Amino acid sequence: MEFRDALGKASGFQSYQYRMIEFSLGYKTEHSLKIYENEPEIYEKLKHQLNRPSLYDVSIQALSRAGFAIDQHVLERDITKPYTTHESVQKAWQAVYENVDEHWELYELAEKLVDLEDWFQQWRFRHMKTVERIIGNKKGTGGSSGVSYLKKVIDQYFFPELWEVRTTI
């Protein structure tokens, strides 16, 4: 608790490296750029990443190139917004999992994405427990609700259909 006052309003919200990871994985929030408006170099890096397809966008494009019927709305979506699940993507991943031999490379891609998300979720959980251990239910330094906010982000998925497909296969 001794160092908390020295942080002022600083928090993990202001970690541009963390935002870069989130943007790369597909959790894109344009409002988070405002934090960096006074740091033009960082702002431009983040804006550039915001406007690039996420890892999951590229993976969905690979499904489409492989001949899976991905809804055009998904392929042409606004990539600066967070991805939301779509039935056509769910069906494509299900077909991959049901025909692993035929779609081995896409299956391997899917499993690597699940591994990545699993590791990230474990990190988020450990981070939340560390914060809970240190500050309890106090407000976060950046103005968030603290632990309750961190508990909510644990339930955010970058690759939702890859988790949902486990129920249907």
75-130 per-position pLDDT tens digit: 999 999 989 999 999 999 999 999 999 999 999 999 999 999 999 999 989 988 98
Between these two residues, 8 and 24, which has the higher pLDDT value?
A: 24
- pLDDT at residue 7, rounded to an integer: 45
Region of 20 (left: φ > 0; alpha: ψ -120 to 50; beta: rest) is alpha
- pLDDT at residue 143, rounded to an integer: 63
115-144 per-position pLDDT tens digit: 999 999 999 899 889 888 888 877 766 667
Categorize the per-residue pLDDT at 8 as very low, low, confident or very high, splitting at 50, 70 and 90: very low
| Residue 47: DSSP 8-state | H
Burial of 110 (0-12, 13-18, 19+ CB in 10 A): buried
Categorize the per-residue pLDDT at 10 as very low, low, confident or very high, splitting at 50, 70 and 90: very low
- pLDDT at residue 13, rounded to an integer: 52
Report how far residue 2's alpha carbon sits from residue 78's, in angstroms, rounded to the nearest whole number.
Answer: 44
Average pLDDT over the chain, rounded to an integer? 89
Secondary-structure breakdown of the chain: helix, strand, coil percentages, each rounded to the nearest 5: 65, 0, 35
Asked if 83 contacts 56 with a C-beta cutoff of 8 angstroms, the reply is yes
Whole-prediction pTM: 0.85
Domains identified in the chain and CATH numbers = 4-168 (1.20.58.480)
